[in-house]
Amino acid sequence: MASPLVVLTDFYAVTNRALSYAAGLALPLETELVLLHARFDALLAPLDDGTDGAYTPVSDQATDQALQKLADQQPVPTQVEVSERELPEAVRQAIRQHNPLLLVLGRPGGASTPVDVMVSTAKTLLSTVPYPLLLVPALKRETFPPRRLLLAVDGQPFVLHQYQDVIRQLLGVSGGTLHVVRVADNIHTGMAPATILDTVAANNLADELAPEQLSEVYNLSIVEGVLAEATRQEADLLVVVARRHSLLGRLFHRSVTAQLIEQCAIPLLVLPARD
């Protein structure tokens, strides 16, 4: 059996699209789900109706019962873990215990959850617990498992953290395709295709890629260029390599990674790279 998927969740069965998507992935992967709930996290705990806008959890018993009910409804074996710790430490512990294939995060409170809360949570996780993070938007059309993967790179060498081969496993169960996109702008000029593809091959992300699997597009906005190419190729999963300096820079809220989290209409898999 493959490693499980750890889903960061609240207990809203209807609005939790991340959980639905994770379950749809777990079936062909023939793996389990772990529902990880942090009682005092701003994204996972329900919003108080009080005037101060503070996040206040409901009773522990009600939370536990709701999460177990949610687990029982899943199409694959699902276990529940509730943590009293800060979210990064709760996730770190789950990784040590389960060695998951990836982490799954959505907007658990539904469409009313501010997107900047999700971006902040993703930033915190990627910078403190670097691990493959799948971000799931509110989906209108779901594809299980994803068959058209688009990997966005900047053409510069990178080294990923040591974790399992996510892309290979997804392609293995779907028989899907992987394409690569690089965006050139006024600052980042065009590069030789072999140079770009060598950065992917160096990390053994997939079998050898042919030049026709690479698209280098020009756009003044890297984010717009990536998203436009995803639309053109009808991609159902966008993969991006996130460098630590872009995550922690003083303008993180305008970084490519953060903007993709905010704007990407399809599931986004973020692979954090080493410095």
User: For 164-217, what is each residue's pLDDT tens digit?
Assistant: 689 999 999 999 999 999 999 888 888 999 999 999 999 988 888 999 999 999
Which pLDDT value is given to residue 137? 85
Co-location of 130 and 187 in the same domain: no
- Among residues 135, 165, 200, which one ends one of the domains? 135
Sheet containing strand 133-135, edge to edge, reads: 78-83, 33-38, 5-8, 102-105, 133-135, 268-272, 237-242, 148-152, 177-184, 214-218
Query: Which CATH number do you get for residue 211?
Result: 3.40.50.620
Co-location of 123 and 222 in the same domain: no
Which pLDDT value is given to residue 245? 63
Co-location of 130 and 154 in the same domain: no
Banded pLDDT at 127 (limits 50, 70, 90): confident
Co-location of 160 and 243 in the same domain: yes
Which has the closest alpha carbon to 133: 87, 84, 85? Answer: 87
**Residue 23 within a domain:** yes
Which pLDDT value is given to residue 41? 63
Q: What is the DSSP letter of 166?
A: H
Which pLDDT value is given to residue 270? 94
Which of 5-9, 119-123, 225-229, 269-273 has the lowest average pLDDT?
119-123
The mean pLDDT of the chain is 83
The pTM assigned to this predicted structure is 0.88
**Residue 232 within a domain:** yes
Higher pLDDT, 50 or 154: 154
Range of the domain at 30: 5-135
Q: Is 80 left (phi over 0), alpha (psi -120 to 50) or beta?
A: beta
- Asked if the model's pLDDT at residue 223 lies above 50, the reply is yes
Which pLDDT value is given to residue 58? 54
Co-location of 27 and 129 in the same domain: yes
